[in-house]
Structure 1
Amino acid sequence: MQPAQSVVVRNNVKIYGSGSTVIMLAHGFGCDQTMWRHLLPYLDDKYTVILFDYVGCGASDYAAYDKVRYSSLTGYAQDVLDICEALKLTKVNFIGHSVSSMIGIHAAIQSPDIFSKLAMICPSPCFLNFPPDYEGGFEKEDLKELINLMDKNYVGWANYLAPLVMGQDSNADLTQELETSFCSTDPKYAKPFAKATFFADDRALLSKLTLPTLILQSKHDNLAPTAVGNYMNEIIPNAQLEIVDAHGHCLHMTNPLTVSSIVQEFVS
């Protein structure tokens, strides 16, 4: 067990608001907690909102990085559980973006008593295609090439991935913000997280998640097609699916008002 203060520093934990309902916002791959600033103003006047950075991201303590621990999503889930333990949190409404949706599932299955509800923004339990039963969106060779590009040309990788993630119709400033976030993450930490994200297959976990679950799907998402949201909605026992008529994989940045209203109705 780690001292509470060391976990708070390690994961750059920030607390906003003072409401009785606790919301934890967990960022996606290549990002950090600053990506939530578009959504935060809609939440911090009503709820206690917890923000943090996974080790290896943002302003976390990079000295705490362990390459074995963070080679799989369970290591990132342990960050979530460590933070909840350090802050003595219970009945947490966990909101994860992209891969953090799966990280939240890992954490919730391991320690279900800590969490109240789980909301997922543009989630995917597996980015790989397994025809004819599952359409994750990518062939394995395509993802391998994407990871290899990180080694060959890291800036080029960021230039390619940011507009793909943010979506065709998105604000250029948001795309630039995401690209800058990708570029500012050291490849030493970004590549293992990328591999853990894009090559994970957590479909078997979905049926084990018993918490009330909200799946927020973007109608036009290059990373997680609507077939993925429908698939998850069918398998998670206590799920509801909301498809937002929007472009891109970052609804909390592009459509924060819509996301906040759906989330607030869900956690109330």
Structure 2
Amino acid sequence: MLLTHSDPIRKNNVNITGNLNSTSTLIFAHGFGTDQTAWLPVIEAFKNDHRIILYDNVGAGKALPEAYSPNKYNSLQSYADDLTNICERLNISNAIIVAHSVSAMIAVLTTIGSPQFFKKMILIGASPCYRNDPGYTGGFEQKDLDDLYRAMDTNYFAWVSGFSSMAMANPDRPELAQSFADTLSAIRPDIALAVARVIFQSDCREKLQKLDKETLLIQTKEDIAVPLQVAEYLHRHISNSKLIIVNASGHFPHISASQEIVNAIQHFLIE
């Protein structure tokens, strides 16, 4: 008898919507602390003309809880393996992936291993490395990250309250930060901490030269998680990439400024 979590559709809570007869497929991949529902403000604009695939990373949303293991998900490659399994199961080829935050590098790793899945990539708030390094600005010193892990471990829900407001920005719309806090709070604290460590300690810079897909990089004017220098670094190191700065602040423009993201995606799709 097959284990339930050997089925990627159930394991990752895959949902297929939009125009099921369309020859164009958009796959939306969420970032840390959110789930596939974060894309709801964006996908409405694409439902008539595209088949849309949504899924939850293991450890988030309605992905099967028993599928998560800190030993298995100790690198971004494990999440890339999950995306690969989803694409294989659904016979995906020449799709367009729209990936936010950590899922951007997950998509990069997936594409390097299986270039047939995606013909274009749209990466929002992406970072190949969050830590500062000689000659590279990632945004965080290791001490900053150690302090973050300590805060998550000491009082997770207090950390959620502060982090959600800073990451979402848009203080004039506190309901957005509260919504992010709700999805963060729904994650088991030990899983959130383990996943955060994997994300913030990752370094995918050497992988970028292997990416040859047409890529749109979307960056906000101000993002506490990903400085503009990171987006510029990606632009320099990903051949055939385009960088646009949208009129939005915070790490979640698809939530806080969804029309900006819709416009950027639509223009890229017809180029």
Scaled by the length of structure 1, the TM-score of the pair is 0.95
What SS class does the counterpart of residue 127 from structure 1 fall into? Answer: coil
Q: CA–CA distance in 1 between the matches of 2:112 and 2:265?
A: 21
Partner deviation per Cα, 1:191-213 (whole Å, 9 max, x = no partner): 22111111111111111111111
Could you tell me which residue of structure 2 aligns to residue 240 of structure 1?
A: 242
Q: Is the 8 A contact 2:130 2:138 kept in 1?
A: yes
Using a 3 Å threshold, how does the CA distance of structure 1 residues 136 and 5 change in structure 2: closer, same or farther?
Answer: closer
What SS class does the counterpart of residue 46 from structure 1 fall into? Answer: coil
Q: How far did 1:47 drift?
A: 0.9
Which of 211, 214, 234 is 1:212 aligned to?
A: 214
Which of 100, 104, 112 is 1:109 aligned to?
A: 112
Q: Is the 8 A contact 1:91 1:116 kept in 2?
A: yes
Could you tell me which residue of structure 1 aligns to residue 156 of structure 2?
A: 154
Could you tell me which residue of structure 1 aligns to residue 13 of structure 2?
A: 12
Partner deviation per Cα, 1:38-72 (whole Å, 9 max, x = no partner): 11111112211100011111111111223222111
Runs of 5+ unmatched residues, structure 1: none
Q: CA–CA distance in 2 between the matches of 1:229 and 1:265?
A: 19
Between the two proteins, the alignment pairs up a number of residues equal to 267
Could you tell me which residue of structure 1 aligns to residue 75 of structure 2?
A: 72
Using a 3 Å threshold, how does the CA distance of structure 1 residues 148 and 80 change in structure 2: closer, same or farther?
Answer: same
In the TM superposition, 1:73-222 aligns within 5 A as 73-131=76-134, 133-169=135-171, 171-222=173-224
Q: CA–CA distance in 1 between the matches of 2:218 and 2:152?
A: 29
Q: CA–CA distance in 2 between the matches of 1:74 and 1:139?
A: 24
Q: CA–CA distance in 1 between the matches of 2:15 and 2:114?
A: 22
Q: CA–CA distance in 1 between the matches of 2:127 and 2:88?
A: 27
Using a 3 Å threshold, how does the CA distance of structure 1 residues 4 and 89 change in structure 2: closer, same or farther?
Answer: farther
Amino acid at match of 2:162: Y
Q: Is the 8 A contact 1:170 1:254 kept in 2?
A: no
Q: Is the 8 A contact 1:42 1:257 kept in 2?
A: no
Runs of 5+ unmatched residues, structure 2: none
Which of 29, 35, 38 is 2:38 aligned to?
A: 35
Q: How far did 1:20 drift?
A: 1.7
What root-mean-square deviation, in Å, do the aligned CA atoms of Structure 1 and Structure 2 show?
Answer: 1.7
- Give the ranges of 4+ consecutive aligned residues of structure 1 lying more than 4 Å apart after TM superposition: 1-5
Q: CA–CA distance in 2 between the matches of 1:258 and 1:245?
A: 7
Q: CA–CA distance in 2 between the matches of 1:182 and 1:221?
A: 18
Scaled by the length of structure 2, the TM-score of the pair is 0.94
Using a 3 Å threshold, how does the CA distance of structure 1 residues 44 and 150 change in structure 2: closer, same or farther?
Answer: same
Q: CA–CA distance in 1 between the matches of 2:244 and 2:85?
A: 30
Q: CA–CA distance in 2 between the matches of 1:2 and 1:93?
A: 30
